[in-house]
C-alpha cells in the first residue's frame, strides 16, 4: 500500500481556509475555546461586538477581535495571506526566505520579513522541558556579523551554544542559544535554561565551561581521541544549522530567532501535519510584537570582551 504523507497538503489547507473569514473564524474558535476573559479587566462576561467575531466585555466595554493581543495583532494585509505565511514557514522542512514569500504572495518583501519574524517569535523554546538524561553541550561558530561599535564597522563572529539531548541511540531535543562570547557567564545561560543540575553533561575541553563544574557536577570534558572528534552528533547538528542559515537566509541578523525556528522544526519532525496548527495555536497565545520589539531584541547576558574561540562547527 502506498504510504500517505501526514503533512497537511496545500489542497487540504486551501479547503479549510478558502478566504479571510475562515481564518478569522478559526482564530475566534481557538482563542476562546476555553472560555472568555476580558484582556483589560479580567472579568468573564461578554456580549457580541459590532463585528461578527468581536467580543465586548459587559463590565468595562473593551472590544476585542480574534486577532487582538496575539501575534496577528494589527496585521496589515489579508489574514488569508498571513495564514499562508504560517503554512509555508511551518511545513517547509528547510523554512522559506522572505523574498520567496514575497514572490509567492504578491506582498512587499519587508512586509513578509516582518510577519515571518512574528511567526518565528512563536517558535522560541518555552523552557518547560528540562533535560536530565545524557546531554552534549557544544559551542559553534555560525558566520560573521558586521556591527557598528564606537562609530566603526567591525566584524563579530556569530556564536551559539547547542544543548543536544541523547536518548539511547536516538536523538532527543536540541536547543540553541546565541552568545556574545564563550565565557562561563554566557555559556551558563543554556545550562540554567535547559539542564537539570544532575544531568550527565558532555562538553568540549573549552576553559569557559570550567566555572560551571561546581553547579553541574556531572559535567565531563571530552577531548579529541586519536584525532577523532568528540560530540559527533552535536557537531553534525551544528553543521546542519550553519548550512541552513547560509543556504536559506544568507545573513541572519537576529540570530536567536533563526536558531529558534531551526530547532523548533527539528525537535518536532515527527509532528508533520499538526505543525501548522501548533504554530497557529502558539501565535494566538503569544503577546503581540511590533517591528521595534523584534529588532531591539537583547540577549539576556551582558556583553563582555570576546574570548578565544575553540571548536569550529564547520
Which residues are CB-neighbours of 30 under 8 A, at least 6 positions away?
280, 281, 284
- Asked if residue 38 binds Zn ion (CB under 5 A), the reply is yes
- Asked if residue 312 binds Zn ion (CB under 5 A), the reply is no
Smallest separation (angstroms) from Zn ion to the CB of 39: 7
State which residue, 41 or 130, has the beta carbon closest to Zn ion.
41
CA distances from 153 to 129, 156, 180 (A): 39, 10, 17
State which residue, 59 or 147, has the beta carbon closest to Zn ion.
59
Among 14, 15, 40, 247, which residue sits at the site for Zn ion (rule: CB under 5 A)? 40
- Asked if residue 201 binds Zn ion (CB under 5 A), the reply is no
Interstrand relation of 152-167 and 135-149 (parallel, antiparallel or unpaired):
antiparallel
Smallest separation (angstroms) from Zn ion to the CB of 50: 16
- Asked if residue 138 binds Zn ion (CB under 5 A), the reply is no
State which residue, 50 or 76, has the beta carbon closest to Zn ion.
50
The closest of 20, 10, 259, 260 to 126, measured between CA atoms, is 260
State which residue, 28 or 62, has the beta carbon closest to Zn ion.
62
- Asked if residue 41 binds Zn ion (CB under 5 A), the reply is yes
Burial class (CB in 10 A: 0-12, 13-18, 19+), 97: middle
Burial class (CB in 10 A: 0-12, 13-18, 19+), 172: middle
State which residue, 57 or 275, has the beta carbon closest to Zn ion.
57
Stretch in the footprint of Zn ion (CB under 5 A) among 2-10, 41-49, 99-107, 291-299: 41-49
Stretch in the footprint of Zn ion (CB under 5 A) among 57-65, 116-124, 183-191, 264-272: 57-65
Among 24, 57, 242, 283, which residue sits at the site for Zn ion (rule: CB under 5 A)? 57
Q: Binders of Zn ion among 61-100, rule CB under 5 A?
A: 62
Smallest separation (angstroms) from Zn ion to the CB of 43: 5
What is the C-alpha to C-alpha distance for residues 25 and 273, in angstroms, rounded to an integer?
20
- Asked if residue 60 binds Zn ion (CB under 5 A), the reply is yes
CA distances from 242 to 95, 133, 160, 255, 312 (A): 14, 26, 11, 11, 11
Smallest separation (angstroms) from Zn ion to the CB of 61: 7
State which residue, 41 or 47, has the beta carbon closest to Zn ion.
41
Applying CB under 5 A, the residues found at the interface with Zn ion are 38, 40-41, 57, 59-60, 62
Amino acid at each position: 500500500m502506498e504510504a500517505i504523507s501526514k503533512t497537511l497538503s496545500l489542497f487540504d489547507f486551501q479547503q479549510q481556509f478558502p478566504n479571510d473569514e475562515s481564518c478569522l473564524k478559526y482564530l475566534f474558535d481557538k482563542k476562546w475555546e476555553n472560555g472568555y476573559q476580558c484582556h483589560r479587566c479580567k472579568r468573564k462576561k461578554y456580549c457580541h461586538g459590532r463585528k461578527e467575531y468581536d467580543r465586548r466585555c459587559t463590565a468595562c466595554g473593551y472590544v476585542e477581535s480574534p486577532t487582538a493581543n496575539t501575534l496577528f495583532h494589527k496585521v496589515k494585509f489579508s489574514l488569508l495571506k498571513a495564514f499562508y505565511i504560517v503554512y509555508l514557514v511551518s511545513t517547509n522542512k528547510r523554512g522559506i526566505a522572505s523574498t520567496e514569500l514575497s514572490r509567492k504572495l504578491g506582498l512587499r518583501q519587508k512586509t513578509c520579513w516582518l510577519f515571518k519574524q512574528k511567526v518565528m517569535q512563536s517558535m522560541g523554546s518555552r523552557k518547560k522541558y528540562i533535560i536530565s538524561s545524557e546531554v552534549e553541550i557544544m559551542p559553534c561558530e555560525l558566520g560573521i556579523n558586521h556591527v557598528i561599535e564606537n562609530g566603526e564597522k567591525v566584524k563579530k563572529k556569530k556564536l551559539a551554544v547547542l544543548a543536544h539531548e541523547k536518548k539511547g541511540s536516538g536523538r532527543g531535543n536540541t536547543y540553541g542559544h546565541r552568545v556574545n562570547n564563550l565565557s562561563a557567564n554566557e555559556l551558563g545561560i543554556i545550562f540554567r535554561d535547559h539542564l537539570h543540575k544532575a544531568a550527565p553533561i558532555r562538553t568540549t575541553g573549552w576553559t569557559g565551561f570550567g566555572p560551571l563544574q561546581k553547579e553541574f557536577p556531572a559535567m565531563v570534558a571530552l577531548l579529541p581521541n586519536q584525532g577523532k572528534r568528540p560530540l559527533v552528533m552535536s557537531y553534525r547538528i551544528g553543521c546542519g544549522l550553519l548550512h541552513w542559515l547560509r543556504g536559506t537566509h544568507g545573513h541572519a541578523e537576529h540570530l536567536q530567532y533563526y536558531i529558534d525556528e531551526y530547532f523548533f522544526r527539528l525537535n518536532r519532525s515527527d509532528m508533520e501535519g499538526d505543525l501548522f496548527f501548533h504554530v497557529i495555536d502558539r501565535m494566538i497565545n503569544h503577546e503581540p510584537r511590533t517591528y521595534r520589539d523584534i529588532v531591539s531584541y537583547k540577549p539576556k547576558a551582558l556583553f563582555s570582551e570576546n574570548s578565544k574561540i575553540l571548536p569550529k562547527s564547520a
